[in-house]
Amino acid sequence: MTQDDIKTLDTQPDLNRRKFLGTTALVSLSGVGLSVGLSACNKKESAPTAGAGAPTTSAEATGSSKYEVPPGKLDEYYSFSSGGHSGEVRIYGLPSGRELKRIPVFNMDALVGWGVTNESKAILGTKPNGTPKYTTGDTHHVHQTYADGTYDGKYMFVNDKIHSRLARVRMDTMECDKIIELPNIQGFHGTFPDKRDPVDPNINHTTRVFCGSEFSIPLPNDGRDMEDGSKYKSLFTCVDSNTMDVRWQVLIDGNCDLVASSYDGKLAATNQYNTEMGIHYEDTMSAEMDACLFFNVARIEEAVKAGKVSTIGSSKVPVVDGRRASNQDPKTALTCYVPIPKNPHGVNISPDGKYYACAGKLSPTASVIEHALVLKWFDGELAKPRDAVVAEPEIGLGPLHTGYDNKGNAYTTLFLDSQIVKWNVEAAIKAFKGDKNAKVVLDRIDVHYQPGHGFTSMGETKEADGHFFLSDNKFSKDRFLPVGPLHAETAQLIDISGDKMKLVADHSVYSEPHDSIIVRRDIIKTRQVYNLDEFPLAVKDPKDSGVFRNGKKVTVKLISQAPAFSLREFKLKKGDEVTIILTNHDKVEDLTHGFAIPKYDIQFIVNPLETKSVTFTVDKPGVYWCYCTNFCHALHLEMRSRMIVEA
């Protein structure tokens, strides 16, 4: 990118700001000062750097009661959000921004007892000593399952970038029920469920989850080829959404990043920023063009069926060859590499299923790729993959993620410009064909500051409603009371129902939401209580309570019913391996009890009619008051049981 490119960005209303930002950001990208240009905050001339500086100018404060949710009233939407390096998933109500729940997934959670109970450890996976295999996670992308092009309210999937795991969350209980670790990859970043089967017309719902790996590694990564970057590889992975088994992987050139799936089930896509296969940071930016890589799902599955596969290391997952050299003939190709400038970030399909927007990140453009033309290339009827690009509007600096409304407009986050830009897809296509009158960029709005993901209400479905856009910003600085060197992040709610975007609320969020989806509330149907029968260990009758000894292994069965546990005390001997099984017999929704044992580091909750268990060795003689941690009753404090450990 050159200085001349910047001049062409004439749609920017605030030219002075543009010039300042552009010069700083782009000059430094051109080689010498790489680290300066890409760091986020060095160019926001209007923002104080820290502290509770000047209050926000009233000019931008357009919040009004129309967007407030009065006490006792419910929100219109759920927002499901990844929690970044917290390893969790969060649920907010919109437009209020009320935080409703945090779902522990890859992280430990003291309230729920996630990572403490036997049931959660079985989902998390354990080391031979019984402790969780990993205690950290890094969630980036959340997406729900589909039926007929819209959410079916069944499951949500979320990735773990640090340990390359995929988790599934049930939408009826909003709890994680399954976690798997993907083989032979690192930096599992983008993920997206498919929307229907590419072949079987009867399967109009999600059955696969696609997963992209961002970091290339030697394969297998067992100490070989560590100095030879040309031997590093990435895999694109497909997981069965029901069994959560890994179905297949595709060996590719370059890396994966974000992932999208088509509405007809035929293609999966991933943007690639490291087609250079660079190991060092500057190498990943050496090429002017990277790519958006498309996978022909039906052909890959035919190849797997036909046994045209290999395996890597000890993994049994079939791997097909999606590298460029092996996929030159469009009519048999499994993959199609569409060139996109430069280090693109994000790929998002429009709600009509026709176009993918792949934003340039280091190029001020968003590339529009036509779905039908990619299919045409696979049929041998398009000269070259790049011909599938039908528009490439210049929209601003550092474009990352795109959301859509129901009127053919796209909303892209501009990380470096700290803006959201609204642009019209069909107008961009006309302009690309040479129509000088096509009005591509329709509006811009400042956000505070450095937006990462942005997403619209129902915008990842064919029911996109064009109501709200939420901008998850990476910096908040002067927007909230300072709370030390680490500030809250901002999620800014923008009304996109009119011609002009309107900022209507700032919501603070704990670091660091990456991606969210905004889901209409009628789609989500949650359960009120559990069912005793779904827990094999359930203590079904209070009379079944007691201490059951088998040598040094002891099982303690008890129930909770406000305001008491069914055992006032239970006796153990030092050295026993005890399993405590607790069933909550309260049937009223939200009547949850907790169970905490001092000095033994045991804490968890049991929801109505739920059963949980913990196993540990009692190594400290004495009296330990097991108490209820969840305020449940006027006699909550009295709700206790005595664990007596004899020497």
**Contact positions vs ligand K7E (CB under 6 A):** 140-141, 189, 258, 345-346, 400-401, 452-453, 514-515
Compute the least distance from the CB of residue 159 to ligand K7E, in Å: 9
How many angstroms separate the CA atoms of 47 and 53, rounded? 9
Compute the least distance from the CB of residue 113 to ligand CUA, in Å: 14
Compute the least distance from the CB of residue 274 to Ca ion, in Å: 5
**3-state SS assignment for residue 105:** coil
**3-state SS assignment for residue 444:** strand
Q: Which does 112 bind (CB under 5 to 8 A by kind): Ca ion, ligand K7E, ligand CUA, none?
A: none
Query: Which of residues 333 and 559 has its CB atom nearest to ligand CUA in the complex?
Result: 559
Compute the least distance from the CB of residue 592 to ligand CUA, in Å: 8
Q: What are phi and psi of 26, to 5 degrees?
A: -85, -35
Q: Which of 462, 636, 640, 642 binds ligand CUA (CB under 6 A)?
A: 636
Q: Which does 639 bind (CB under 5 to 8 A by kind): ligand K7E, Ca ion, ligand CUA, none?
A: ligand CUA
Query: Which of residues 1 and 602 has its CB atom nearest to Ca ion in the complex?
Result: 1
Among residues 384, 389, 455, 458, the alpha carbon closest in space to that of 428 is found at 389
Compute the least distance from the CB of residue 278 to Ca ion, in Å: 7
Among residues 392, 450, 390, the alpha carbon closest in space to that of 420 is found at 450
Work out the number of other CB atoms within 10 angstroms of the CB of residue 610. Answer: 23
Task: Show contacts with ligand CUA in window 513-572 (CB under 6 A).
Answer: 562
Angle at 410 between CA 406 and CA 415, to 5 degrees: 145
According to DSSP, the residues that pair with 348 across neighbouring strands are 357
Q: Which does 290 bind (CB under 5 to 8 A by kind): Ca ion, ligand K7E, ligand CUA, none?
A: Ca ion
**Distances in Å between the alpha carbon of 642 and those of 110, 153, 319, 626?**
21, 43, 56, 6
Query: Which of residues 335 and 641 has its CB atom nearest to ligand CUA in the complex?
Result: 641
How many angstroms separate the CA atoms of 424 and 443, rounded? 10
Q: Which does 514 bind (CB under 5 to 8 A by kind): ligand CUA, Ca ion, ligand K7E, none?
A: ligand K7E
For position 585 contacting ligand CUA by CB under 6 A, the verdict is: no
How many angstroms separate the CA atoms of 177 and 257, rounded? 25
Query: Which of residues 212 and 265 has its CB atom nearest to ligand K7E in the complex?
Result: 212
**Distances in Å between the alpha carbon of 387 and those of 151, 313, 335, 373?**
32, 38, 15, 8
Query: Residues interacting with Ca ion, by CB under 5 A?
Result: 273, 284, 290, 343
Q: Which does 141 bind (CB under 5 to 8 A by kind): Ca ion, ligand CUA, ligand K7E, none?
A: ligand K7E
Could you say which DSSP state residue 96 is in? T
Query: Which of residues 12 and 365 has its CB atom nearest to Ca ion in the complex?
Result: 365
Q: Which does 343 bind (CB under 5 to 8 A by kind): ligand CUA, ligand K7E, Ca ion, none?
A: Ca ion
**3-state SS assignment for residue 303:** helix
The interface mask with ligand CUA, positions 594-633, x = CB under 6 A, is ----------------------------------x-xxxx
Query: Which of residues 625 and 631 has its CB atom nearest to ligand CUA in the complex?
Result: 631
Query: Which of residues 343 and 419 has its CB atom nearest to Ca ion in the complex?
Result: 343
**3-state SS assignment for residue 351:** coil
What's the per-residue H, E or C state across 541-576? CHHHCEEEEECCEEEEEEEEECCEECCCEEEEECCC
Q: What share of the chain is helix, strand, coil (3-state, %, to 5)?
A: 15, 40, 45
Query: Which of residues 246 and 400 has its CB atom nearest to ligand K7E in the complex?
Result: 400
Query: Which of residues 330 and 451 has its CB atom nearest to ligand K7E in the complex?
Result: 451
Task: Point out which residues bind ligand CUA (CB under 6 A).
Answer: 562, 593, 628, 630-633, 636, 639
